[in-house]
Structure formats: structure tokens, C-alpha cells
Structure 1
Amino acid sequence: MKPFLSIRGLHSGYAGGTVLGGVDLDLDAGGTVAVLGRNGVGKTTLMSTVMGFLRPYEGSVTLDGRELAGARVDVIARAGVGIVPQGRRVFAPLTVDEHLAVASRRSARGPWTRTRVLGLLPRLGERLGHRGDELSGGEQQMLAIARALLGNPRLLLLDEPSDGLAPAIVSHVGEVIREVSAQGMSVVLVEQNLGLALSVARDVAVMQKGRIVHRAPCEEFRARPDDRRRLLGVD
């Protein structure tokens, strides 16, 4: 059986410079993979290229057999890819309600309705009238997740969702990821918080110098501290 997401020989970068030097990565339908690696190895570049924010120099990105490499962002989104970007990218002047309304208008048909999203993220329901710049970092992250879910993606990309958040909020982010994964959504998670990554993902893929150099089930990676030290410099 072919993988749901298949990335082959992906090269990408900025202003002619190469960051990704031939990434290969597969993900089965309903699977969750955590992409790990030190700063600067190309994790965010990978997410940006899959989503269409960056045009690849060469390589293939297929979703359920459909080639998406080099397609426009809107085409990729309609094909079923959603992203929670690094830095959240919440619009400061818009209220929570307005963010959700915009996302709902652009959404594909599917199970993730406004009611369901607010049920998963009830704090947003309490903050509907607040502007983006009036939200805490955790609330902004929840809003970014809600916005992505309302698009009813089949593949959800999350880029450093725990960045800058308090431990209690990180724990809630983990609960949300586990819930959407349990509902059958495929997830690619880029994360520096190893505890979060290992608690929500089925597999890990470690990047070094723009390539995937190690792939393993989370349980195996958790049980091999030598691999973690060698690849990530952590215990």
C-alpha cells in the first residue's frame, strides 16, 4: 500500500540557497510523525515547502497519490493540507470570532465544525470578542489550531506548537494533537519539546543538515538514550 504522504528527494531553500538537500519522508493515513532536530537543520523549511509557502527546487510531495510539489498554497489547502505555523500568525486587529468566521468560510466539508472546534478548545469560546493582540500566547496557539482544523484537513502540519508556552498549555496542546490523531487525521509535528513529541507521535524522524537521517517508532527512540544524545544532544 502506498503511503498517504510521500516526500521524495525534496530540495528547497531561500534565495537560491539550499536548506533541504533531498528529504525523504513517508506517513500512512492516520499516522503521526514528529520531525526532530537541532535548530537550523531545515525543519521549518520542510513544513513551508510542503505547504507551498516555498517552491521546491526539485523533488516530489504526494498526498493520497496527488502531486503537490510546487503547487500554490490554496491548491495544497484544498487538497487537504492544513498548517499551524511557527509563530501562530494571528491577525492582531481581528477578534477570535472573526478569525473563526474567515476560516469557516474557506473550509471544506467535514467533521470539524465551529461547534466541535470550540468544544475541543473551550477557552476560545470565552474569548470570542477579544482581538488577536489581546490574547495570551497559549490562546493565540489555540486559535491557530482552531483555524487550521476548520479547514478540515486530512493532513495537519504543526510547526513548533509548544514554543514559548507554559507547561500547562503545552500539556493541553498535546491533548488536542492526540484527539485529532485519534479521529484519523494524519499529523506531521515539528517540535523541540521532546517530551511533547514522544507523548503524541507514533514515529520520530530526525533531521540533520537538510535530510532525514533517522526514523524509528517513538517507543524505540524513547528506550535508546544513546541515539537521542547522538542525534539531538539530549538525554
Structure 2
Amino acid sequence: MSRLIPATRGALAGLPVEVAPRLLGGVLRTRIDQVTVAVRLTEVEAYHGRGTGERPDPGSHARMGPTARNATMWGEPGHLYVYLSHGIHSCVNVVCGLAGVAGGVLLRAGEVVQGEHAATARRPAARSARELARGPGNLGAAVGLRHPVHDGIDAVSGIPQARAIARLELPDEPLADVATGPRVGVAGRAGTAAFPWRFWIAGDPTVSPFRWGRGAADA
């Protein structure tokens, strides 16, 4: 059985598509206002920025280059890019790649393994424990990270930011039961089998359901 070890910048310095499956089975732990919640990661998606890797990624926030919104993606690995989805959901990404090369891994789903009571209070709409961190907006809510105050928080050093501390731990060995396929809800070609950059633990009940993005099924 794999054991967990603290994430290092070196372990996260590869291309997001290479780093993403290594995050599975890892744990993101937050401590906010003295309340700790930990989520075991079961589903992730890789996103590359402009000039990252061999192929442009039309689904990435950084596809056109640096902006005020995606600035964290261009920073050093191990920071968390926390962005707002649909104006209400704070979603969490682990920044990957070297500083100056944009990339991130979206944390799509996980299992709450510590702090279930706090996660439930943050996610009152969840009907069961498996739904507490199922879906990227739900995961962000469960661990208590919010845009914009926690964007850029460092999950390697654990330096506090806006009364929050985040820590990422990774399995010392890659998991064997990893499935891969198109990313969820991503429009056009970026959401097709041309980009099989969604990774998940096969058979895990916390993994979110798949849905095609706009125009992806016909691309």
C-alpha cells in the first residue's frame, strides 16, 4: 500500500498531463480558522497553458497567455489556482510545471477523510458523504478555499493566506487502477477524446458523472 509524502515543487514540475495521475490517491488538507478538512483525491483533469507541451490546449484558461485571472497558473508549482466558475463556485487547481510555464490540474472530486462534520456544514446540499466533494465546485466548498482570497495559496510550504493553510500530500507510488478519458463539460475539441486528460480512480463512488461540453460530442 502506498504511503503519503509531502508534495515538493520538483514532484509537480512536470507537464500537467504527466503530473495529474500522480495526484490520485493524494490528499489535500486545509486548515481554516482552526478547522481542518482533508480530501483524498479521486478525479483530476490536466490543463496546459500557451506554449506548454507539444499541443495547444484550447480548453485552458491560459490558452491565450497571461491575464489577471490566470496569473497563478504561470507561477511556481505547488501553489493553488482558485478560480470562480459560473460566478459562484470556487474551483481548485494544483499549479504544475516550471515557473513561467502555465499549467494546472483541476481537482474534480475526492473523498472527505477528515473533518466530515465541517465539510457537511459547508455543503448542506450534499445528500451523502460521497457527494461532499464530488465535482470541482463541491470540492472547493468542502475544503473551504474561496476565490479570490485563497487564489495562489502555497500547498507545498503551507504559508498561511487569508486565515487558511493548505497542504498537499502525494502517494509515494503511482496508483495502478487509473482510468482516463475526455474532460468533463469542456466545449468543442478540447472536450473530446483528442484530449484524454481526465484521470480518475476506476470504480470510486466519489468520481463525478461525465457529461459532454457544448459541441464536444460532435467535434
TM over 0.5: no
Give the structure with higher Rg (CA).
1
- Name the structure where helix makes up a greater proportion of residues: 1
